[in-house]
Structure 1
């Protein structure tokens, strides 16, 4: 519980990680003899605020994860979908009807820390959403056919991460209204289609999403430093 609210978490881990080119699902790659997904799961299961955790995975790893994480009583392993959006929606549909707040997180972000999760919960509890984000460091160019069309103001640009936390009824309504009709790349975009405000909280440059081999090397370095 968090401030007398029933709190859920959705961890999406159903992707194949084809860009990694490792020959196995990327979340099964290991750092210090531990699969990447286990680092993510352990952050969430170590926090007392969560009443339920839904871990969504592929058909290939469904039984493996059920066996591996069977000792976490508040964690349920569920079959994900063919896309990130479908997997998130399946996770929302699997939530307990009592859920007040839901934290949506990429399984491929194993370096998330508790402070960011708690800040996102505080924001969602007050405003309806709490989206981890960091300011863009580089200059961004908008281009077509390799020709620059404009250079947006970097001071107003943010790199969005997870966790993304919402009032459960709000994000569920957004998915029910717009799933399959739009193609957003993150959960918070669904709120924009509802004309709801999306509130950002400070993320971390260390809270990287592991997508490529270079990301894996960087994550290993950060974990060794930690």
Structure 2
């Protein structure tokens, strides 16, 4: 079965601050995105890699690739105004309708190989595979009145990426009109009435969003 990895970094990354978007910030001597692409290439060097970034960043990214000697083959696709549109653009760039695609946040460079492998295996069997981790802290639900109610954390999971799907199904799922209810690719898939399969993720697979995340990411790279 043909396998694709759709690495999504279509946003401006403004929450981190500074002149350079978070996906291009260096950790361990090279930009975050290069670490992420390398993880998927190391899993399977025959994997077709698609990188979604803002169209206006193409020249900047290609210059970075030259500067860092980054030569992992990948197709560049222009992102949209939202994550939904960026993923849709990436899916539209895949001509095949048969196969599997792992959709992954570009700023999650610490996904483990066994998570990628299990995501493809499970999606091949069930149609989908979404990486999740258990909660470590107690949680409470805040009511409109301002009071709070204890929640059993064992009934909840934190959602990560990759979120891997059979191509035919996820392409069909993204034919719908965008909705605020679509918080990730799994919710778009579920909108079709299909059940999502969960697989264990890895705790280190953080999404780099803040300055503190970037500092922790640098620590993780130093320990690798």
TM over 0.5: yes
Give 1:218's aligned residue: 216
**Aligned residue for 2:33?**
37
CA, structure 1 residues 50+150, in 2 after alignment: closer, same or farther (shift >3 Å)? Answer: farther
SS in 1 for 2:55: coil
Structure 1 CA distance, aligned partners of 2:47 and 2:219?
A: 32
* Stretches of 4+ aligned residues off by more than 4 angstroms: none
Cα distance between partner residues in 2 of 1:181 and 1:30: 34
Match of 2:178 in 1: 180
Q: Distance in 1 between matches of 2:53 and 2:208?
A: 16
Equivalent position of 1:92 in the other structure: 91
Name which of 4, 9, 12 aligns with 1:13: 9
Which 5+ residue runs of structure 1 have no aligned equivalent? none
**Is the CA contact (8 Å cut-off) linking 2:23 and 2:33 kept in structure 1?**
yes
TM-score normalised according to structure 1 size: 0.90
How far apart are residue 23 of structure 1 and its match? 2.3
Give 3-state SS (helix, strand or coil) of 2:185's partner. Answer: coil
Query: What RMSD in Å do the two structures reach over aligned CA positions?
Result: 1.9
For residues 19-66 of structure 1, the C-alpha deviation after alignment (integer angstroms, 9 at most, x for no partner) is 101221111111122111110011122232644111000123212334
Do the aligned partners of 2:133 and 2:158 also contact (CA within 8 Å) in 1? yes
Question: Which TM-score applies when normalising by structure 2?
Answer: 0.91
User: Structure 2, unaligned stretches of length 5 or more?
Assistant: none
CA distance in 2, matches of 1:181, 1:31: 34
The CA deviation at 1:15 is 1.1
Please state if 1:59 is matched with 2:55. Answer: yes
* Cα 1:194/1:152, change in 2 over 3 Å: farther
The total of aligned residue pairs comes to 220
Displacement of 1:199:
0.6
Contact 2:181 2:187 in 1 (8 A): no
| CA distance in structure 1 between the partners assigned to 2:45 and 2:3 by the alignment | 7
